Structure 1
């Protein structure tokens, strides 16, 4: 198993343990590396009363990217993430499996890590795009997260 596969497996285990509702929806990390994460959720079992994927499921597949990016980019034995605020804009009907993707650049990772080490916490913004199976953007999001030092 590659290091990347091991990281994805670790993130999926964390989702199951720390956010069981997301795991029940079928939210999974599918790719993660420093500064980059992709999550996915199936259409099946996540519909609403008019045949689209429920808005809360779309929110969740985008929101968990904050934890996935943190796990891929920072020392999880020293830091943990939390979400402070989250905005989502629905752009099109979501009627198939979904994929959410977000990135953080190296300069931002360095800033966050240094500030969290020095002050015990650091806020960061993560913008995500949620697409359907055809690649259509169904939602965009902007989350404000905080990386916190464990024990501070």
Structure 2
């Protein structure tokens, strides 16, 4: 993953819409997952370290890390397909996780799709009404160490046309 976001920003209304959609998911709100920024195919987010979401070791539970990775990957995916979200449904198919350290303190996450994959995915959606995109995620803790890596497989499908009546 790159250290800085790609140059193509999303319009402010699209960023606000993606954030609102992810923040409205009850589980994200319960755990405190927040999307902090969104661009075309990338996003960042955070999750606070709170006692109810710690594990038996006193560190942040893997479930909270998983939830943050899913949310930030979904925001990156939505950023890649922002122009199509009114007529399409994004769905996660798979989230492959690798926990690489114990998480201490507030979590930060960054998700990025490979920018080279975006044109083909957009063309596939235009041609077939569906597309897939892989998003890579890195989660770091309050000590700025990477604690989790994930690979999210997202799917976009067109909403069915309303019945003609």
- TM-score of the superposed pair, with normalisation by structure 1: 0.87
Larger deviation: 52-61 or 105-114? 105-114
Deviation at 1:8, TM superposition (A): 4.2
Q: Distance between the aligned counterparts of 2:77 and 2:125, measured in 1?
A: 12
**From 18, 21, 29, the counterpart of 2:27:** 21
Identify if the C-alpha distance between structure 1 residues 87 and 6 changes in structure 2 by more than 3 Å, giving closer, same or farther: same
SS in 1 for 2:102: coil
Q: Deviations over 1:31-76 (max 9, x none)?
A: 1111210111001242122211111110010011232013222122
Which residue pairs with 2:133 in the alignment? 124
- Give yes or no for contact 1:99–1:130 (8 Å, CA) kept in 2: yes
Q: Distance between the aligned counterparts of 1:42 and 1:7, measured in 2?
A: 25
Identify if the C-alpha distance between structure 1 residues 5 and 92 changes in structure 2 by more than 3 Å, giving closer, same or farther: farther
Alignment of 1:11-90 (within 5 A): 11-17=18-24, 19-45=25-51, 46-74=53-81, 75=83, 76-90=85-99
- Give yes or no for contact 2:33–2:68 (8 Å, CA) kept in 1: yes
Deviation at 1:116, TM superposition (A): 1.5
Q: Distance between the aligned counterparts of 2:31 and 2:11, measured in 1?
A: 23
Query: Which 5+ residue runs of structure 2 have no aligned equivalent?
Result: 1-9
- What's the Cα RMSD here? 1.9
Alignment of 1:92-131 (within 5 A): 92-131=101-140
Identify if the C-alpha distance between structure 1 residues 47 and 81 changes in structure 2 by more than 3 Å, giving closer, same or farther: same
Identify if the C-alpha distance between structure 1 residues 70 and 125 changes in structure 2 by more than 3 Å, giving closer, same or farther: closer
Deviation at 1:6, TM superposition (A): 4.6
SS in 2 for 1:123: strand
- TM-score of the superposed pair, with normalisation by structure 2: 0.81
Larger deviation: 75-84 or 3-12? 3-12
- Equivalent pairs counted in the alignment come to 149
Which residue pairs with 1:134 in the alignment? 143
Query: Which 5+ residue runs of structure 1 have no aligned equivalent?
Result: none
- Give yes or no for contact 1:80–1:148 (8 Å, CA) kept in 2: yes
SS in 1 for 2:156: strand
